[in-house]
């Protein structure tokens, strides 16, 4: 029991650190694309420390605090279920549907907190976030259906193991289509342009985040970091073959190699998202809904139908 | 004499007594006791479920029977538990003895439907249920009640025709005999022999049953009565109306499987891995999810929102039933249970809100979470449960339906249920935002928390939502007994389908750990200072309570605009038009046939005589 708990703590620390690095990479790469130098890669960590060292924080009530805690707690919970090579805690229960749901829950917490502040910008942000969620759910659903039907199992770990034998998912046509749709969905899950409608800096003053400051914002930074890590990890696991390295004799070396391979795959997913986000302007919410219900849905549905034949 | 008739009749007797004794206080006690008797007796009968629990009586040449099997026990328990909490809620919200009589009568009806042993008992109970619920709506809104009544009557008489067809061919009405004849018929047909029922007759019976049960369940496109009827009545009663009475339709579909499964498969074959007739139910169920969900998001009235949400959730059950494997039917029954639990809870919350504030529209609410903390806590449980957030019961049952549907390689249905889970999220947040959070209008400044009976009722349903979510095996193992074999393996904490596993307890533990870690990080920061709602960012401008800061109207306008084309197509309008033309026709017939001209009547007589002469009489 204690061992499992320590392992979980290590995973959380690793995920938080890598997540913060990802956030730094996003800022750095975006800056380089704009021909700027950009902040140092550890900038998000400094930001977060600063948020926590504010002398005074404000609150609008119990839900305002609890929503934030709920968001971070749910993100940590989601992380526990996603296989991280051979390390993860609950990978036996790492069910595709469960993880898909768990990755959405943090949004609920953030919105509860944001709405309890009573700010109209938060309200409009919540509305946009919900409609984005509704829009991405259709292609996302078809992509998950395609995966489950192709492999005949819902266990993420078993899907990773199957890819060790049969090659990565994206090399099979139905799953390639699903992966394309899922990648377009990821753009909205990360909250990156052209689908960062829920936050929309410059348009609606950060939407749900508008009222948060101090430690609330700090916790949301940590949540965002772990969320980025979890979402990229999930994509790498189900579409890019995950990683289970067993070549070395020492288990520690194996684990390290696994983590390195996974990290490279996660970075690849992240970089695609950054490249897209830096060159596309934002959609409006109804454009986003129509877009997601058209092309990604058609692609993913085609994948799902091909996978079920 | 055994307990079965007591279970069914006791609510009716109690309702009648409560109606006679117009004494406030006593009628409440009698009513609650009447709804408690079925619950107590059902629990008492649980250990003897394996044996034959039957009761028959000869009335007017028909053998009327009741029986209790594992399946009917599960459904009766839904009725008894949610019925009891709804009646408890009515202690606070009922306005007169009329409501006591008919609310308890509809509980009798629905228990009769679930425990019926033959088609006559089934039909009589069905009519009692329909009539009682119609009378409940009638007091509040005549138009809504008539709409409900006419659609229900169309459904009920469709069922009567189907029963007549079955009786004409088979000569029996008890479920086991009818079922045996149908499966024998299917066998004959498979061998190539002439069946007892032709393909057309089978299709007709199926279609009539689909109409009958579809109306009650609120299946698209027969759902139009539900939003009006659910909203225009006592909201405590709606907890039972939506939680239990709609399950009668669901139970009807299960009955269709019990009676005619083999025959329908032989006649219509399979569509992919699902039986064709089931796929039709499932596809309509998928449409029900989508239509109900989107319309729920666009409502401006709490009662309407939950009425459409109820329709949407019934869609899940129909999808599960339609797919037709043992697992998917079990998942559907599981969702029927969890829908009754969380939707019962939701309507009790709505009842509390209306009882305390007297308002129903979103534009009048706001910021109630501080004034009604207990009700908000219950709403929080219900929201998490309906939106499918683990570890509550709503997630478990939805998860089972997802897995059961997708495992059968039915991608389109899979996409539909995914959409349904997102839209559930969407309309619940709208409810949360407009009612509980933000600025509080000054006229609901002094709202008190829930009255005791409603609070107890909500507490019971809330606790069950949590318990069945953390220990999903409690329900699953009970459902396994319906089929007599292990379909969902695992223990009381864990569900194991072979291709997917879910563990409620482990998930709860790790969620607690995650929340603890988050809470530790939170408490490491500096102290918080409480600020009022008006101390907020408004593009750097000062705001006072005169400004309306909370978006209460047309929250999902972009959705409405994106869906504008589809929203123009309304079945409600279609039915209204059809009904209008029937009324016009009746008017025309009256004007032309009963025209008040004596000579015209003489001519009718002459025409009849000519016809008789032509027939050679």
Give the residue with greater pLDDT, A37 vs A202.
Answer: A37
Task: State residue A18's pLDDT score.
Answer: 92
Q: Cβ–Cβ of A90/B414 closer than 8 Å?
A: no
Please answer yes or no on whether A118 and B561 come within 8 Å at the CB atom.
no
- Give the position of tokens 């220990």: B471
Residues 6 or more apart in contact with residue B48 via CB below 8 angstroms: none
pLDDT exceeds cutoff 70 at B1: no
Give residue-wise pLDDT tens across range B104-135. 899 999 999 998 888 888 998 999 999 998 98
CA distance A295 to A286: 15
Q: Can you give the pLDDT at residue B490?
A: 79
Using pLDDT thresholds of 50, 70 and 90, give the confidence band for residue B405.
Answer: confident
pLDDT(B145) > 60? yes
Tell me if A37 sits within 8 A of A65, measured CB to CB: no
Q: Show the 3-state SS of A42-99.
A: CHHHHHHHHHHCCCCEEECCHHHHHHHHHHHHHHHHHHHHCCCCCCCCCHHHCEHHHH
Give me the pLDDT at residue B266, please.
Answer: 82
Percent with pLDDT over 90 in chain B: 13
CA angle B558, B560, B561 (to 5 degrees): 65
Chain centroid offset of residue A238 CA: 13
Residue count (chain A):
309
What value does the CA radius of gyration of chain A take, rounded to a whole number of Å?
A: 19
pLDDT at B109: 92
Residue A105's pLDDT band, with cuts at 50, 70 and 90, is confident
Q: Any idea what the Cα angle at residue B155 is, between residues B153 and B158, rounded to 5°? A: 105
Query: What does the pLDDT read at residue B532?
Result: 78
Instruction: Note the pLDDT of residue B582.
Output: 93
Judge whether residue A236 has pLDDT over 80: yes
Residues of B in contact with A73 (CB under 8 A): 511, 514-519
Give the C-alpha separation, B140 to B148, whole Å. Answer: 13
What domain range includes position A138? Answer: 1-308
Q: pLDDT of B344-369, one tens digit each?
A: 999 999 999 888 888 888 888 888 88
Contacts of A121 in chain B (CB under 8 A): 537
User: What band does B193 get if pLDDT is binned at 50, 70 and 90?
Assistant: confident
Distance, in Å, from the CA atom of B126 to the CA atom of B110, rounded to the nearest integer, reads 7
Share of chain B above pLDDT 70, in %: 100
Name the residue among B502, B518, B538 with its Cβ closest to that of A93: B502
pLDDT of residue A283: 87
Chain A (72-111) residues lying within 8 Å, Cβ to Cβ, of chain B: 72-77, 80, 89-90, 92-93, 95-98, 101-102, 104-105, 108, 111
pLDDT at residue B588 is higher than 90: yes
What local confidence, expressed as pLDDT, does residue B507 receive? 86
pLDDT of A120-154, one tens digit each?
Answer: 888 888 888 888 888 888 899 899 888 888 888 88
Average pLDDT over residues A223-247: 86
Q: From the CB of residue B52, how many other CB atoms can be counted at a distance below 10 Å?
A: 8
Question: Does the pLDDT at position B189 exceed 90?
Answer: no
A16 touching B, CB under 8 A?
A: no
Higher pLDDT, B553 or B211: B211
β A57-59/B54-59 pair status? unpaired
Mean pLDDT for B549-577 is 86
| Average pLDDT score over residue span B59-64 | 76
Distance CA A52, CA A219 (A): 8
Among candidate residues A120, A127, A114, the one with its CA nearest the CA of residue A63: A114
The SS3 assignment for B64 reads strand
Residues B254-273, mean pLDDT to the nearest whole number = 84
Q: What is the ipTM of this complex?
A: 0.89
Q: Which of A68, A77, A136 is the best mutation test for B, with the most CBs of B within 10 A?
A: A77
Residue A9 vs residue B483, higher pLDDT: A9
Residue B607's pLDDT is 94
Domain total in chain A: 1
pLDDT at A89 over 80: no
Q: How confident is the model at residue B606 (pLDDT cuts 50, 70, 90)?
A: very high
Could you report the per-residue pLDDT of B413-430, keeping only the tens digit for each?
888 888 888 888 888 888
Average pLDDT taken over every residue of chain B: 86
The pLDDT score that the predictor gives to residue A96 is: 86
Stated as kind and residue range, the H or E segment containing B110 is: helix B97-115
**What mean pLDDT is predicted for residues B212-232?**
87
Check CB contact under 8 Å for B423 and A134. Answer: yes
pLDDT mean across residues, chain A: 86
Residue of A nearest to B421 (CA): A137
């Amino acid at each position: 029991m204690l061992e499992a708990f320590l392992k979980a703590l290590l995973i959380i620390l690793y995920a938080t650190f890598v997540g913060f690095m990802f956030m730094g990479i996003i800022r750095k790469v975006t800056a380089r694309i704009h021909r700027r130098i950009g902040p140092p890669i550890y900038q998000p960590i400094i930001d977060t420390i600063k948020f926590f060292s504010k002398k005074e924080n404000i609150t609008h009530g119990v839900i305002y605090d609890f929503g934030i805690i709920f968001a971070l707690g749910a993100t940590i919970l989601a992380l526990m279920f996603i296989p991280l090579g051979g390390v993860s805690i609950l990978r036996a229960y790492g069910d595709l549907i469960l993880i898909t749901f768990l990755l959405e829950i943090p949004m609920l917490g953030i919105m509860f907190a944001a709405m309890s502040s009573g700010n109209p910008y938060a309200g409009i942000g919540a509305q946009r976030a919900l409609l984005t969620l509704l829009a991405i759910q259709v292609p996302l659903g078809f992509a998950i259906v395609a995966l489950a039907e192709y492999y005949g199992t819902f266990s993420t770990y078993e899907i990773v193991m199957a890819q060790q034998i049969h090659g990565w998912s994206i090399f099979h046509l139905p799953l390639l289509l699903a992966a394309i749709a899922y990648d377009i969905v990821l753009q909205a899950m990360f909250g990156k342009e052209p689908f960062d409608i829920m936050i929309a800096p410059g348009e609606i003053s950060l939407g749900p985040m508008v009222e948060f400051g101090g430690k609330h914002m700090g916790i949301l930074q940590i949540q965002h970091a772990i969320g980025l890590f979890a979402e990229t990890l999930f994509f790498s696991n189900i579409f890019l073959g995950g990683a289970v390295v067993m070549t070395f004799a020492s288990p520690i070396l194996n684990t390290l190699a696994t983590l390195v391979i996974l990290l490279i795959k996660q970075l690849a997913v992240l970089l695609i998202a950054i490249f897209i986000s830096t060159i596309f302007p934002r959609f409006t919410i109804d454009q986003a809904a129509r877009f997601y219900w058209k092309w990604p849905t058609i692609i993913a549905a085609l994948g799902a139908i091909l996978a079920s034949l | 004499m055994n307990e079965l008739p007591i279970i069914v009749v006791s609510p009716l007797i109690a309702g009648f007594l409560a109606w006679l004794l117009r004494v406030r206080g006593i009628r409440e006690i009698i009513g609650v006791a009447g709804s408690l008797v079925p619950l107590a007796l059902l629990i008492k009968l649980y250990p003897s479920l394996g044996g034959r629990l039957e009761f028959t009586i000869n009335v007017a040449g028909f053998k009327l029977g009741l029986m209790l099997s594992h399946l009917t026990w599960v459904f009766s328990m839904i009725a008894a538990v949610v019925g009891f909490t709804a009646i408890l809620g009515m202690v606070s919200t009922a306005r007169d003895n009329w409501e006591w009589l008919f609310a308890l009568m509809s509980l009798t009806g629905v228990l009769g439907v679930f425990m019926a042993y033959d088609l006559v008992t089934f039909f009589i109970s069905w009519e009692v249920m329909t009539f009682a619920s119609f009378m409940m709506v009638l007091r509040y809104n005549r138009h809504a009640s008539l709409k409900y009544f006419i659609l229900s009557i169309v459904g009920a008489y469709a069922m009567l025709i189907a029963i007549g067809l079955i009786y004409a061919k088979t000569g029996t009405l008890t479920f086991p005999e009818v079922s045996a004849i149908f499966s024998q018929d299917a066998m004959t047909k498979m061998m190539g022999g002439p069946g007892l029922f032709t393909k057309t007759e089978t299709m007709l019976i199926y279609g009539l049953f689909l109409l009958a049960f579809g109306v009650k369940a609120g299946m698209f496109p027969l759902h139009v009565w539900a939003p009006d009827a659910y909203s225009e009545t006592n909201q405590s009663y709606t907890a039972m109306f939506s939680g239990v009475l709609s399950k009668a339709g669901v139970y009807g579909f299960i009955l269709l499987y019990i009676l005619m499964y083999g025959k329908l498969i032989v006649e219509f074959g399979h569509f992919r891995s699902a039986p064709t007739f089931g796929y039709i139910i499932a596809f309509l169920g998928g449409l029900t999810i989508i239509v109900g969900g989107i319309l729920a998001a666009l409502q401006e009235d709490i009662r309407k929102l939950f009425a459409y949400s109820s329709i949407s959730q019934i869609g899940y059950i129909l999808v599960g039933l339609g797919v037709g494997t043992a697992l998917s039917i079990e998942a559907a029954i599981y969702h029927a249970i969890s829908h009754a639990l969380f939707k019962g809870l939701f309507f009790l919350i709505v009842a509390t809100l209306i009882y305390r504030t007297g308002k129903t529209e979103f534009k009048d609410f706001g910021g109630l979470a501080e004034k009604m903390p207990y009700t908000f806590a219950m709403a929080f449980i219900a929201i998490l449960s309906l939106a499918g957030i683990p570890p509550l019961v709503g997630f478990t049952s939805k998860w089972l339906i997802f897995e059961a549907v997708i495992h059968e390689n039915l991608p389109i249905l899979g996409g539909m249920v995914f959409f349904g889970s997102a839209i559930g999220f969407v309309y619940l947040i709208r409810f949360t935002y407009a009612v509980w959070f933000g600025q509080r209008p000054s006229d609901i400044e002094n709202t008190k928390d829930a009255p005791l009976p409603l609070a107890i009722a909500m507490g019971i349903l809330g606790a069950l939502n949590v318990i069945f979510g953390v220990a999903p095996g409690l329900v699953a193992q009970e459902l396994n007994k319906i089929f007599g074999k292990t379909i969902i393996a695992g223990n009381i904490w864990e569900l194991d389908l072979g291709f997917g596993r879910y563990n409620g307890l482990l998930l709860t533990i790790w969620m607690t750990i995650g929340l603890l870690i988050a809470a530790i990080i939170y408490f490491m920061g500096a102290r918080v200072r409480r600020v009022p709602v008006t101390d907020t960012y408004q593009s750097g401008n000062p705001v006072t309570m005169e400004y309306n800061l909370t978006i209460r109207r047309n929250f999902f306008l972009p959705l409405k605009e994106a869906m504008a084309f589809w929203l123009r197509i309304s079945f409600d309008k279609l039915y209204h038009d059809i009904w209008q033309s029937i009324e016009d026709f009746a008017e025309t017939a009256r004007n032309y046939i009963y025209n008040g001209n004596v000579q015209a009547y003489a001519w009718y007589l002459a025409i009849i005589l000519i016809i008789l002469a032509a027939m050679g009489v």
